[in-house]
A = this chain, B = another copy of it.
Amino acid sequence: MKKSEETKQKILETTIDIISEKGYAPTTTKEIAEKAGVSEGTIFKYYGSKKELLRQIVQKTLKDFKEYSVNEAIPEVFTSTEDGSSQEFLRELMKERAKFFQKKDKAMQVIIQETMIDETIREIFREKVWSEMTRVSDQIFDRAKQAGEFRDFDNRTLRRAVFGSFLFYIIFEGMLEVDDSKEENLAEEIEKTLNLILSGILKETLIQE
């Protein structure tokens, strides 16, 4: 990597670090410059504006996410579950996604934060994540329902259950349970949660079909 690329990268990483802690608005370019070891001018040389710096962080992270999904996660899942059930497929998919989240931990925090606040970011999120998530999960759910593997819940309800527990884990447990055994196995947690969602909480099945 060229020197200038390194500098640019350093700025980006530093910004993600700081913003994920205190949010975008209260983070100053001065602070970023100091922690990144460059002058404020340099930030503007590379990114034009503070807002643009944020946009590039979001865009880059979501592009990475998409690339990861397409190039690594889904092929990997396909291979390992080739002739398997939808259930197996979903299980592997969630684990792959979780890996990404875990690696891009702070950047994802930034994205969720800003998605809640900024319409521009929200739009990017909608386009890059939400639509893809909806599309892929619709495919899985539809196939599974057709195959008689899943009960007949509508896709939105299914999505809510599958992704919601994941979201809860990311946002609240990570943020609020400070001193907890953070080193617990993510894959195992996903496993347990999906088990629950797939098999249900109750001993006696509630729904008569």
Q: Does A87 contact B (CB under 8 A)?
A: yes
Q: A26-B25, A113-B116, A165-B165 are in contact. Are A199 and B196 (CB under 8 A)?
A: no
Find the B residue at minimum CB distance from A203. Answer: B151
Find the B residue at minimum CB distance from A200. Answer: B200
Nearest-Cβ distance from residue A209 to partner chain B, whole angstroms: 7
Nearest-Cβ distance from residue A202 to partner chain B, whole angstroms: 5
Nearest-Cβ distance from residue A6 to partner chain B, whole angstroms: 22
B153 near A117: Cβ-Cβ < 8 Å: no
Residues of B within 8 A of A193 (CB): 157, 160-161
**Identical subunits present:** 4
Chain A contact residues: helix, strand, loop or mixed: helix
Residues of B within 8 A of A203 (CB): 148-151, 209
- Interfacial residues, chain A to chain B (CB-CB below 8 A): 22-26, 87, 109, 112-113, 115-118, 122, 125-126, 130, 148-151, 153-154, 156-161, 163-169, 171-173, 175-176, 189, 192-193, 195-203, 205-207, 209
